Amino acid sequence: MVDQDGVGPGITGGDDLGDDEVALLGAMSDLEPTDGRVAIDGPLATIDVRTLFDDQVTSRCLDHSARWLRSMGRGYYTIGSSGHESNAVIAAMVRPTDPALLHYRSGGFYLARARQAGCTDAIDHVLLGVMAATSEPGSGGRHKVFGHPDLAVIPQTSTIGSHLPRALGVAFAIARAERLGVDLRWPPGSIAVCSFGDASVNHSTGQGALNAISYTAHQGLPVPLLLVCEDNGLGISVPTPVDWVEMSVAHRPHLRYEQVDGSDPAAVAHVTSELAGAARDGQPAFLHLRTVRYGGHAATDIEVAYRKPEEIRADRARDPILAVARVLVEAGQIEGADLAERYRRIRADLAERAAELVGGARGLESAEEIMEPLAPRRPHAVADRVARLDSTRSKVGSGSGSGSTLAEAINRTLADLLEAEPKILLFGEDVGRKGGVYGVTRGLQKRFGAARVFDSMLDEQSILGLALGCAVSGFVPIPEMQYLAYLHSAEDQLRGEAATLSFFSNGAFRNGMVVRIAGFADPRGFGGHFHNDSSIAVLRDIPGLVIACPSGPDEASALLRTCVGAALEDGTVSVYIEPIARYRSPSHSPPPAKSPTGGHVPIGESAVVREGGDVVVVTFGNGVHSSLDAADRLEHEDGISCRVIDLRWLAPLDHDAIARHGGDVGRMVVVDETRRTGGVAEGVVSGMVDRDVRARLCIVAGRDSLVPLGPASERVLVTADDVTSAVRRLFSREA
């Protein structure tokens, strides 16, 4: 309900102020003026401090509005910025075009950035985000985020340091664009700004990112990055030791560290100005901002359950709003009582605006509306883009896989793509000087230079984070995961960061990229389970992620070109799995019944690689070769004619075509080299069931086991004998 003035109870500007606000306003009113004897100087003098005060108060009052909206059943996010408002000073000390990846408590920064950029709707942005309203421009009601393309604020959700690898990538992209002379999303001379909480410093992703930042700078590469650790001393209820952040970070090589108390706005402005200048010169900087936290972690968190009353009272003296009020009063610019009244007015205006927005705020109403920005598909635009990329073949040699091995086809295609698109970057462990552990990228660094083809450190999170930051900045990264098993230590960079960006920004930000992965099993059993991994269930579970898998050189080039074309046109995030066992193998024998035409295979389109009318065999990757071998044997020994279908795309699956073939023939064997539980076959069969296809079905899949070392690996992998036996069993059941 609302009161007669249309303002919700508990958030008006009058007598219903909370005890903490009453105390704050009283402290303001008690400030003694000094007739301007304490001058505002240094970097703080370059901004309007009264405007800064308004931004901080607005951020605080938005937190109150969020909690009121929740009490009315119209608000869904109450993690606030109260006590962290000193981050508004940081925004004032950097450029409004500097890309920012913000902590969920950086509300003051967001409001100050909006004011710098001339955006007048920032208050509505935050309120509509709390209400999960479709008219909120950051995410369109999908999550409450600080994000907006016009403000150069890249949206982050409830991050625990997972955005730090991307922040390094953004900084790297800024510097690399200047080196290569290409234009990106950010103006030349920009720095990346990344804020996060003290608890995030302890997360493995945060520690890995800090290491990668120091490592990159140690190599002499510029890293225009300002890290801002907003340290309120708590990770929800768990205290961070007072000196831990400093001990953990201050002595990292090549990372400039400074600590400042948020209750000293002049010092915050001074230190931020210095560190931002260092970052613009290429030296990464770490601003340790001491803050306080008011009101618990969120509305559902009752902090008196784990904090002593005297601790909470002590924090009140460090209120950043009171600190700025003190500066204004001591400078003789305004009286404390006037500031208190200013606070009341802002609070009342916000309360009224929240009540106005509630009536017209519409939430997302259908699955289609929710998913619209998740994975846009414009196949004709992608085909046109691939055709333009193909035009360089006459310069650098055919990218066709015909008559070559898989490794050779991929290598030539990568060369074509690097020649055609100057914003493509190719990197990963060993991909540069060595040319990859399997030689797939051999010669590309020598040809295109170390600025575009380069080696990375051994850290999959950093490799993917680098790609994410480069992609959102405007590059087209093609990072390599050396083995599929290595990906699992960095999966969240794909799930929580790459695949969510378009979703949580309503399509305003994209990070199109192609992740190359050497995957599946080597039939020699080399390397055991850590080099022979078939677990792609975690990839197929990521909404919007495209998974391509060439079975040989014939379609390898076309699939890779399509992935790059989709990254350029639609911002698609693709995983391109290269079967290790096929790297040195030539084309299918006999040749496929349907080879790719030109340089493009539409995403999700399967192919018939052998005609037949007795049974349909649906497979992919190494399974295509096993199935073709089995089909030869079955035709000669049993007179059974097999139609073999290469899925080529493991997400999305070509369900309609599979169902059509299955219904036409009435018998189907799904050959899946991944594990039976959670494997691709489950998706194929469920698609048949959903379409009510009447067919006899059988699955041949890898065992639910890790892959052992040596010849024993064959005991858990799919072989041609397994496929042959499965087809024969299918027919024997009909006898």
> pLDDT value at position 1?
30
- List pLDDT tens digits, range 426-442: 999 999 999 999 999 99
Considering the chain, what percentage of its residues have pLDDT values greater than 70?
93
Residue for token pair 């169902």? 659
As given in the structure block, the two tokens for residue 95 are 């450029």
> pLDDT value at position 535?
83
- List pLDDT tens digits, range 345-367: 999 999 999 999 988 889 999 99
Range name among 111-125, 184-198, 324-338, 592-606 with the lowest pLDDT average: 592-606
Per DSSP, the residues of 98-142 read: S-EE--TT-HHHHHHHHHHTT-S-HHHHHHHHHTTBTT-TTTTTS
d(CA 196, CA 684): 42
- What average pLDDT does the segment 230-245 reach? 93
Q: How confident is the model at residue 333 (pLDDT cuts 50, 70, 90)?
A: very high
- What average pLDDT does the segment 100-125 reach? 96
**Encoded amino acid at 698, one letter:** C
Look at residue 576 and give its three-state secondary structure.
strand
- What average pLDDT does the segment 558-562 reach? 96
Compute, in degrees rounded to 10, the torsion defined by CA atoms 634, 639, 640, 641. Answer: 100
d(CA 518, CA 495): 19
My answer on whether omega of the bond before 477 falls inside 30° of 0, hence cis, is no
> pLDDT value at position 393?
59
Maximum alpha-carbon separation in the chain: 104
- What average pLDDT does the segment 592-610 reach? 77
- List pLDDT tens digits, range 452-499: 999 999 999 999 999 999 999 999 999 999 988 888 889 999 998 999
d(CA 481, CA 193): 27
> pLDDT value at position 3?
37
As given in the structure block, the two tokens for residue 105 are 């408590």
Range name among 310-324, 460-474, 597-611, 626-640 with the lowest pLDDT average: 597-611
- List pLDDT tens digits, range 258-289: 999 999 999 999 999 999 999 999 999 999 99
| CA dist list (Å): 566 to 198, 379, 504 | 38, 8, 19
pTM: 0.93
**Is position 531 annotated as part of the catalytic site?**
yes
> pLDDT value at position 10?
41
As given in the structure block, the two tokens for residue 130 are 């709390």
- What average pLDDT does the segment 384-403 reach? 65
As given in the structure block, the two tokens for residue 195 are 């804020």
> pLDDT value at position 599?
78
As given in the structure block, the two tokens for residue 417 are 């793509």
Look at residue 548 and give its three-state secondary structure.
strand
- List pLDDT tens digits, range 612-622: 999 999 999 99
Residue for token pair 């059974």? 640
As given in the structure block, the two tokens for residue 524 are 């020699």
pLDDT at 160 over 90: no
CA–CA–CA angle 434, 439, 445 (5° rounding): 50
Catalytic residue among 531, 588, 600, 625: 531
Range name among 411-425, 519-533, 640-654 with the lowest pLDDT average: 519-533
**Encoded amino acid at 70, one letter:** R
Gyration radius from the chain CA atoms = 29
- List pLDDT tens digits, range 647-665: 999 999 999 999 999 999 9
Spatial contact of 563 and 514, defined as CB atoms under 8 Å apart:
yes
> pLDDT value at position 274?
98
As given in the structure block, the two tokens for residue 199 are 């608890």
Please, what is the average pLDDT of the chain?
Answer: 90
Q: Give the ranges where 651-705 is alpha helix by DSSP (H).
A: 655-665, 680-690
Q: Which residue has the higher pLDDT, 8 or 248?
A: 248
- What average pLDDT does the segment 572-591 reach? 81
DSSP-derived letter for residue 8 is -
Contacts of 380 (CB under 8 A, 6+ apart): none
- List pLDDT tens digits, range 496-510: 899 999 999 999 999
- List pLDDT tens digits, range 20-71: 899 999 999 999 888 777 889 999 999 999 999 999 999 999 999 999 999 9
> pLDDT value at position 597?
47
Q: How confident is the model at residue 528 (pLDDT cuts 50, 70, 90)?
A: low
Q: How confident is the model at residue 585 (pLDDT cuts 50, 70, 90)?
A: confident
How many Cβ atoms are within 10 Å of 585's Cβ, its own excluded? 17
- What average pLDDT does the segment 676-683 reach? 92
Closest of 577, 542, 579 to residue 563, by C-alpha: 577
- Domains of the chain are 19-368 (3.40.50.970), 379-582 (3.40.50.970), 607-732 (3.40.50.920)
Look at residue 533 and give its three-state secondary structure.
strand
Closest of 454, 482, 484 to residue 470, by C-alpha: 454
> pLDDT value at position 527?
64
> pLDDT value at position 399?
46
Residue 431, CB-side half-sphere exposure with 13 Å CA sphere: 31
> pLDDT value at position 396?
44
**Encoded amino acid at 547, one letter:** I
d(CA 563, CA 34): 66
pLDDT at 105 over 60: yes
pLDDT at 593 over 70: no
Contacts of 308 (CB under 8 A, 6+ apart): none
CA–CA–CA angle 631, 637, 638 (5° rounding): 80
Q: How confident is the model at residue 331 (pLDDT cuts 50, 70, 90)?
A: very high
- What average pLDDT does the segment 634-646 reach? 96
Contacts of 503 (CB under 8 A, 6+ apart): 139, 142, 373, 374, 543, 544
- List pLDDT tens digits, range 535-554: 888 899 999 999 999 999 98
Residue for token pair 């950051």? 138
Start-to-end CA span in the chain (Å): 72
Contacts of 359 (CB under 8 A, 6+ apart): none
